[in-house]
Chains A and B, each alone.
Chain A
Amino acid sequence: MNTELVVSTKQLAKAFHGKEVIHDCTMSVERGTIYGFLGKNGAGKTTVFKILLGLLKPSMGEVTVLGMDSVKNNLDILKRTGSLIETPLFYEHLSAAENLQIHLDYMGITNADIDETLAMVGLPKVGAQPVSTFSLGMRQRLGIARALIHKPELLILDEPVNGLDPVGIKEMRELFCNMKQTGITILLSSHILSEIEQTADRIGIIVDGTVIQEITPQEIKEQYAGGIEDYFMTVVNGGKGNE
């Protein structure tokens, strides 16, 4: 079957002050799927996400997002992408709705429904509330709302369920699955292994800046009796599969 790749990196490398933090990183994400990005702290997940969004320039290798070069066509990519990188920041003195409106103004979107989006992420009736009064979980939800309000083709979410309670995590999982049904491609990272296992169609494992394996949850179930945790520990600690 001929599948369209929304994200594709080939031998990607990134160095900071001469130290390579990403090297020989090759990965691909198919359209309309959820790709889970797993790795230990400092493995390079956020750096890869930032490169995809053009926030960082690759030192080497090819990066294609939505069929375009991530450096040359950065603005076109940003128009069609929603992102949540690290802890979401807002204008504290403004309300949630005003924060989203500012985002829409920058994106050049005039017809988005702010109330509907807030309800979608579990923040109904708080649109007029200043963000300074929001809890960590509410901020995270608002960050997700900001990422998806302009109806992007690709969502890049770095630890999107950070700070959410179990109910919130479940709601977000359902939201991501619903979004996938509408054709949106989602690339997300998480430390919660079971979350990635339940949400992702394909999982990429990054160790010391290199994607060492791309696998489906189904394949993990078939190959590893202990499930994703067993698989992750084997791959990350051993640097190879449990074969």
Chain B
Amino acid sequence: MNKLISLEIKRNGLKTYHTAVLIVTAIMLCFLYLLAVIPKLDPTETDLGLFMTYNSLTNLINIICMVIFVILSSVMFSKFVVEEYSGKRAVLLFSYPVDRKRILGAKVIMVFSYTVISMFLCGVVIFGIFFITENLFPICADTLKLTTFFSSLLSLLCYSLLSGVLSIVSLWFGFWKKSISTTIVAAVIISTVVCQIMAATITYYSIVLGVLVLGVIAAALVLKDLFHRVEQMEV
């Protein structure tokens, strides 16, 4: 499987996605500082409680990052899966003496892992820089504790896994329609809906875990169907 994954990377390359992740990291770091500074800009405003604790700030960033990474992942799935199984390129793919399920499995593992790991690292960098500067020159009124950092990482891990899982669900729509735009539109819709749920229940970790479990079940069903489709595919 490792060999198949490295062949996928060799064939398609990840340079563009690395650049995208770096840009997202920089923008989200700036955005986090912007959110943290908002209560200071208007101290009389009473509706800014969401931006006054580290917990809600980091969760907000996690939710926004989740949406971005689901879309990024859907772009990768479009390139690595939808495009390759559509039209003439599938003839080439199926001409290799490798089990079709293993090739698809390698692609899914590769994109899922890339999404989860890159989002997690992106979050670690953002929160790492933010918490270091907060320790030295605090902007947020909240008290910074070590547990805040670790709970942010735990939440980040959950959201990273969720972004990987949701992108697999969006892949199903794209594969079904054999369309790159459908994959991306599905990712935008799914991530926006989940984003709304998460934003409404921002500090309830049980909701995050609940959605994650539901997402894993949906992704498992999607993968079962995708493997069956690929096995039966005629090109």
A contacts, CB < 8 Å to B:
50, 53-57, 75-76, 78-79, 83, 85-87, 89, 91, 93-94, 98, 102-103, 105-108
Which of B3, B89, B95 is close to A53, meaning CB atoms less than 8 Å apart? B95
Contact A85 B11 (CB under 8 A): no
Contact A91 B234 (CB under 8 A): no
Smallest CB separation, A31 vs chain B (Å):
20
* One of B96-104, B193-201, B211-219 contacting the partner: B96-104
B224 within 8 A of A: no
Cα–Cα distance between A93 and B79 once the two chains are bound (Å): 14
Listed A/B pairs (17) with beta-carbon separation below 8 Å: A50-B235, A55-B91, A56-B234, A75-B97, A75-B99, A78-B97, A79-B97, A86-B88, A86-B91, A89-B88, A89-B91, A89-B92, A105-B7, A105-B10, A106-B96, A106-B97, A107-B96
B13 within 8 A of A: yes
If A78-B97, A105-B3 touch, does A57 touch B88 (CB 8 Å cutoff)? no
Cα–Cα distance between A228 and B27 once the two chains are bound (Å): 69
Contacts of A54 in B (CB 8 A): 94
Contact B96 A78 (CB under 8 A): yes
Contacts of B94 in A (CB 8 A): 53-55
Contacts of B234 in A (CB 8 A): 55-57
Contact B11 A94 (CB under 8 A): yes
Contacts of B12 in A (CB 8 A): 91
Contact A76 B97 (CB under 8 A): yes
What 0/1 pattern do residues 104 to 146 of B give for CB contact below 8 A with A? 0000000000000000000000000000000000000000000
Contact A89 B89 (CB under 8 A): yes
Further contacts, 15 of them, CB under 8 A, given A103-B96, A105-B7: A50-B91, A50-B235, A54-B94, A55-B234, A56-B235, A57-B234, A75-B99, A78-B96, A78-B97, A85-B95, A98-B10, A105-B10, A106-B7, A106-B96, A107-B96
B contacts, CB < 8 Å to A:
3, 7, 10-13, 88-89, 91-92, 94-99, 234-235
Cα–Cα distance between A105 and B96 once the two chains are bound (Å): 10
Smallest CB separation, A145 vs chain B (Å):
14
Cα–Cα distance between A98 and B235 once the two chains are bound (Å): 25
Smallest CB separation, B219 vs chain A (Å):
27
Contacts of A78 in B (CB 8 A): 95-97
CB-nearest residue of chain B to A53: B95
CB-nearest residue of chain A to B13: A93
Which of A56, A87, A89, A102 is close to B7, meaning CB atoms less than 8 Å apart? A102
Contact A83 B89 (CB under 8 A): no
Smallest CB separation, A187 vs chain B (Å):
15
Cα–Cα distance between A57 and B114 once the two chains are bound (Å): 35
If A50-B235, A55-B234 touch, does A83 touch B95 (CB 8 Å cutoff)? yes
Contacts of A91 in B (CB 8 A): 11-12
Contact A55 B7 (CB under 8 A): no
Instruction: Among A76, A89, A107, find the residue whose CB has the most chain B CB atoms closer than 10 A.
Output: A89
Instruction: Among B88, B97, B235, find the residue whose CB has the most chain A CB atoms closer than 10 A.
Output: B97
CB-nearest residue of chain B to A105: B7
Contacts of A79 in B (CB 8 A): 97
Smallest CB separation, A134 vs chain B (Å):
16
Contacts of A75 in B (CB 8 A): 97-99
Contact B10 A102 (CB under 8 A): yes
Smallest CB separation, B228 vs chain A (Å):
14
